[in-house]
Amino acid sequence: MSQEYFAFISYSSKDIEWGKRLQQKLEHYKLPLAVRRKYGYDRSPVKPVFFAPSDIQPGGLNEELKERLKASRNLIVICSPNSAQSEWVGKEIRFFHELGRTDKIHFFIVGGIPHSGHKNTECFNPVIEELGLQEILGANIHEKIFRWSWLNRERAYVQLITKLLGVEFDEIWRRHKRLIVSRVIYGILILVSVLSIIVGVWFFNKPIDVSVSLNEASVHNSALPPARNAVISMSVANETKTDTISSMNDIAVFRNIPHKYINSTAHVTVACPDYCNVDTVLPLSASVTLDISRDSSRYGDIRFILWNPHKEKGVPNKKIYIEDIETESDANGIVSLHVPLARQRQSYRLRTDIPLADTIFYMPCISPNLGISIK
């Protein structure tokens, strides 16, 4: 019968996961190019590998297993206390030995202690000793060669493969270690890239607090009331937040703004008594400073009627001083004056050459028709 399989895996059902893993490792192993050229092997020489759960069909199990063993070039025994106590593993070893292929029996130790002599720890099936098989140390995944257990497992896989192929262990292991190192480095680079992406996404979406402060851009005048109760609204991505600050030294804070909106367009408005409203669009940043200017008309636009209560009409063309600024009523007795911002006051002294009932004019004007009566 032609040898259809490169190897037959013999195992205890309790070690089924190791059987699956070993089949996967062997069938997907890529032999280095230099070794392939030297020995004339294919790139993946260790396949197909027979593994009962994936290949056996229900019915006639014993006979079918014998046929599969006959069709296999090598027998790999997964050794553990489980397989050491398995009747079927013993029968498979014995049958393969009877085929005259004793030198093609290989051992892969996944648990237990070789030759311990104790039922609970012995990893070799007693049939091995009965048949007098030699050199049965086998490839042991628990051999303490390296600090890392995964690297010891890789070494055991390579040991088994070199025995199956009949090549020098060092010849493949050196190349395999280089491959492992390159894969580790590649894996680290991928991990770093993934972590960088995760951190970037997290940073991009991390909520931040945006602070907004006000700066008086107009001429400072200490005689006027300071900025107070400024209402600041910010609209970002169709969401509007509002905060109020009590003075020019205060800061409005808009919390939990997604970081991804930094540098995107934000619509900001400011409404503050005695100051011009601000309505602007700007690139959003973690700290925003907005210039606001006083409404120069609030305390600077003076208007009243110089009123003669006896004649019940305005006093026309009358010279009058508002503080030290000279002006004159018009033909209807209306006094109108704009005071520059630097000279503005909350109240102004009035002087003229006729007695006035009120000599103090208070700002802002509460009515455009406010009258100042003469006595």
For the chain, list the domains and their CATH numbers: 5-167 (3.40.50.10140), 207-294 (2.60.40.4130), 297-373 (2.60.40)
pLDDT band at 331 (very low <50, low <70, confident <90, very high): very high
Contacts of 283 (CB under 8 A, 6+ apart): 263, 264, 265, 266
Residues 156 and 141 sit within 8 Å (Cβ to Cβ):
yes
- Radius of gyration over alpha carbons of the chain, in Å? 48
Please calculate the CA angle 20-25-28 and round it to the nearest 5 degrees.
Answer: 120
Q: What is the pLDDT of residue 136?
A: 65
Q: For residues 89 and 108, what is the distance between their CA atoms, to the nearest angstrom?
A: 13
Q: What is the pLDDT of residue 60?
A: 37
Q: What is the pLDDT of residue 2?
A: 59
For the chain, give the percent of residues with pLDDT over 90. Answer: 57
* Higher per-residue confidence, 121 vs 58: 121
At residue 374, does pLDDT exceed 60? yes
48-75 confidence digits (pLDDT tens):
999 876 544 444 347 888 888 999 999 9
Q: For residues 7 and 155, what is the distance between their CA atoms, to the nearest angstrom?
A: 19
At residue 341, does pLDDT exceed 70? yes
Residues 125 and 80 sit within 8 Å (Cβ to Cβ):
no
171-182 confidence digits (pLDDT tens):
788 888 777 778
For the chain, give the percent of residues with pLDDT over 70. Answer: 96
Q: What is the pLDDT of residue 173?
A: 84
Q: What is the pLDDT of residue 135?
A: 56
Q: What is the pLDDT of residue 281?
A: 94
First to last CA, the chain: 137
How many helices (H) does the chain have, and how many strands (E)?
10, 20
At residue 24, does pLDDT exceed 50? yes
At residue 310, does pLDDT exceed 80? yes
Q: For residues 177 and 52, what is the distance between their CA atoms, to the nearest angstrom?
A: 31
Tokens 């003669």, residue?
308
244-293 confidence digits (pLDDT tens):
999 989 999 999 888 888 889 999 999 999 999 999 999 999 999 999 99
